[in-house]
Amino acid sequence: MKSVKAKKHLGQHFLNDKIIAKQITDLLTIKKNQNLLEIGPGMGVLTQFLITKKINIKLIEIDYESIIYLKKHFKENKKDIIYGDFLKIDIKTYFKQKISIIGNFPYNISSQILFKVYENKNQVDQVVGMFQKEVAERIVSPSGKKRGILSVFIQAFYETEYCFTVEENSFSPPPKIKSAVIKLSRNSRKELDCNEMLFKNIVKSAYNQRRKTLRNALKSFNLKINNKITQLLNLRAEKLSVEDFIKITQNVE
């Protein structure tokens, strides 16, 4: 098998620039006894550099043709190749300790991947990934119209960094959009200073009615109106920081 055919229904665009691939893998902060999960390795353009590092690596791939290719070209790592869907696995089945995640993520599920990272934030300490440029900008945006629900959730527990832009001709087949690599590093926050489920509901409500001020978008919540949040309620969701959303959540009866 010379190469794997990209499948549209899987959102596959294989990175074919080895210089960029190495730059991506070099963004990883390698720690002692590092556990790493690569999502969607495809033909192993990142894998070839990752296996040279002193890490405990596993690869998860949903495309069986890619699985066959990987097992043929990375024979020493056969036992580390998982045929499966990252969105459906229990990470703890494969890793008991903290892990980092890396990948040229399929754009059609990249947001879902990050929601799963958020749900496993106490185990996932680092993410280095390729995203659609627009999504990457949204995730790292500290405020403004690009920001959304996922931005707030991720930024509550991760430091975010926009690393670099990747042009369309670096892929086969080339996507119709630019791509970007970002890095997420787990911050020191162990838990929110409020009810996390309520926090999530507040953020979702605020952004689902993003044209409204918080006072109107959060009418369904029993807010304790006081000096701590009065000014915040006159703003729209895009103007609030993670700390602002926490403050509002603390003032819901």
What is the residue-wise DSSP string for 29-52? ---TT-EEEEE--TTTTTHHHHTT
Tokens, residue 71: 């097992």
pLDDT value, residue 51: 93
pLDDT value, residue 1: 52
Q: Residue 120 pairs with which residues in a beta bridge?
A: none
Residue 41 identity: P
Residue 180 in 3-state DSSP?
Answer: strand
Q: What is the distance between the alpha carbons of residues 208 and 181, in angstroms, rounded to a whole number?
A: 27
Q: What is the distance between the alpha carbons of residues 236 and 250, in angstroms, rounded to a whole number?
A: 18
pLDDT value, residue 196: 96
C-beta contacts of 77-82 below 8 A and 24+ residues apart: 77/47, 77/51, 82/58
Q: What is the distance between the alpha carbons of residues 175 and 13, in angstroms, rounded to a whole number?
A: 7
Inter-residue contact 26 to 46 (CB < 8 Å) = no
pLDDT value, residue 144: 85
Q: How far is CA 42 from the centre of its chain?
A: 18
Strand pairing report for 171-172 and 124-132:
unpaired
Inter-residue contact 112 to 87 (CB < 8 Å) = yes
Digit-by-digit pLDDT tens for the chain (253 residues) are 578 887 888 887 889 999 999 999 999 999 888 899 999 999 999 999 999 988 999 999 999 999 999 999 999 999 999 999 999 999 999 998 999 999 999 888 999 999 999 999 999 999 999 999 999 999 999 888 899 999 999 999 999 999 999 999 999 989 899 999 999 999 999 999 999 999 999 999 999 999 999 999 999 999 988 888 999 999 999 999 999 999 999 999 8
Beta-carbon contacts of 211 under 8 Å, excluding residues fewer than 6 positions away, are 236
> What is the set of domains in the chain, with CATH numbers?
8-186 (3.40.50.150), 196-250 (1.10.8.100)
> Is the dihedral angle over the CA atoms 163, 27, 59, 21 positive or is it negative?
positive
